[in-house]
């Protein structure tokens, strides 16, 4: 059966590099949204706990429940519920209206929109957001922002940093005035973490780097990370494709000599997307994919029993004209994950 292999040694290597950059593993909040970037939520949570991480980040409450026993703190990026939630759950306030959707005593982090304009309160809504959160008896534990272009050279990143600095200063003043405990501050994703020379926030929200990739443009620093995931599939059958015969839907590949080829048990239904027209792709061991990829099958110029389709997604991402994140999160969650 097609399966995903997760390389624990590589994952721990990436954890070492990121923890060092963040000045401690307690500063790393591992981002586990979208099935841990396609790697497998429970498998990655298990290994992250074993490594000693205590902070995780997910998109919704359902995901948080699945990993509740693995982490001390779980930040939920976009979900609300007017019910008493586990004390380890921290809900993001993406707009002032979110506050009234939560039960008393819910832990919250306030997200501030410093320029991405996707979610978060405006900087000038900070005082009113804090007032309303207090009125609704919520526990404000953190304040954060998200960069739109931490991976790109240019001034945008610094503009957002400056705005966030101002927000933090104001938040500190409000905390002092109202006698509130200090909020945890965080702004960095993977790209931003590795742009810092002296990281001094309370948390870094690290996703893609822990899985072994970073999209930073040169000349930005690129750490030595190692891909964690490889995708494998097994042979269903072999056959001789005679000179002049073609294979698969549309007959897009035609043999120019007799060749022995095989059909393997993976396809776009499993998340291994059809290649763009006229693009050829060879596996890491240099076997060509022949013709169109089917929903559950793929034809390859090989007779091997099992084939690794990729162990580093960068090349595929490039061929698909997209980013590593998109290829990884497309992998079907029902494919078996094996930790090696």
Ligand X SMILES: *Cc1c(COP(=O)(O)O)cnc(C)c1O
**For binding to ligand X (CB under 6 A), which residues are involved?**
31, 33, 77, 146, 189-191, 205-209
Element (H, E) at 80: none
CA torsion angle 86 92 98 101 (round to 10) = -10
User: Treating both helix axes as pointing N-terminal to C-terminal, what angle do 8-22 and 41-51 enclose, rounded to 10 degrees?
Assistant: 60
The residue among 37 and 264 lying less far from ligand X, judged by its C-beta, is 37
For ligand X, which is the closer residue by CB, 77 or 99?
77
- CA dist., res. 141 & res. 181, Å (int): 8
Widest CA span in the chain: 82
* Catalytically active residues, by annotation: 33, 249
Nearer to ligand X, 6 or 77 (CB): 77
Give the tokens for residue 97.
């209206």
Minimum CB separation of residue 92 from ligand X in Å reads 8
- Minimal distance, residue 125 CB to ligand X, in Å: 18
* Residue nearest ligand X, Cβ-based: 207
Find out whether 56 and 210 touch, Cβ atoms under 8 Å.
no
Smallest separation, CB 209 to ligand X (Å): 6
Closer to ligand X by Cβ: residue 59 or 245 = 59
Q: What is the CA radius of gyration of the chain?
A: 23
19 or 190: whose CB is closer to ligand X? Answer: 190
Do 80 and 98 form a contact (C-beta atoms < 8 A)?
A: yes
For the bound state, the minimum distance from the C-beta of residue 201 to ligand X, rounded and expressed in Å, comes to 13
Question: Is the torsion defined by CA of 247, 253, 258, 260 positive or negative?
Answer: negative
Cβ at position 87, least distance to ligand X in Å: 22
- Interatomic CA distance for residues 256 and 26, integer angstroms: 58
């Amino acid at each position: 059966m097609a399966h995903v292999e997760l390389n624990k040694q590589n994952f721990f290597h990436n954890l070492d590099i990121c923890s060092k950059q963040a000045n401690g593993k307690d500063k790393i909040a591992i981002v586990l949204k979208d099935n841990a970037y396609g790697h497998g939520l429970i498998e990655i949570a298990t290994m992250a706990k074993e490594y000693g991480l205590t902070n995780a980040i997910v998109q919704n409450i359902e995901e948080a429940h699945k990993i509740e026993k693995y982490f001390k703190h779980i930040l939920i990026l976009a979900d609300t519920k007017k019910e008493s939630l586990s004390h380890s759950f921290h809900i993001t306030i993406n707009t002032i209206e979110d506050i009234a959707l939560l039960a008393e005593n819910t832990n919250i982090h306030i997200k501030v929109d410093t320029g991405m304009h996707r979610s978060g309160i405006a900087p000038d809504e900070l005082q009113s957001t804090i007032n309303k959160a207090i009125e609704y008896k919520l526990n404000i534990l953190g304040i954060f922002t998200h960069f739109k272009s931490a991976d790109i050279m240019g001034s945008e990143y610094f503009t957002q940093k400056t705005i966030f600095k101002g927000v933090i200063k104001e938040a500190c003043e409000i905390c002092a005035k109202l006698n509130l405990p200090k909020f945890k501050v965080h702004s960095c994703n993977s790209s931003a973490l590795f742009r810092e020379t002296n990281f001094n926030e309370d948390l870094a929200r690290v996703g893609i780097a822990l899985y072994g990739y970073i999209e930073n443009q040169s000349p930005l620093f690129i750490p030595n990370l190692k891909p964690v995931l490889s995708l494998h599939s097994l042979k269903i059958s072999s056959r001789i494709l005679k000179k002049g015969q073609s294979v698969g839907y549309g007959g897009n590949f035609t043999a120019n000599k007799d060749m022995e080829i095989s059909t393997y048990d993976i396809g776009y239904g499993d998340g291994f997307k059809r290649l763009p027209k006229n693009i050829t792709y060879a596996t890491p061991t240099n076997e060509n994919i022949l013709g169109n990829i089917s929903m559950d099958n793929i034809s390859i110029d090989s007779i091997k029993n099992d084939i690794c389709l990729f162990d580093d997604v960068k090349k595929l991402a490039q061929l698909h004209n997209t980013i590593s994140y998109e290829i990884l999160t497309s992998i079907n969650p029902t494919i078996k994950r094996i930790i090696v």
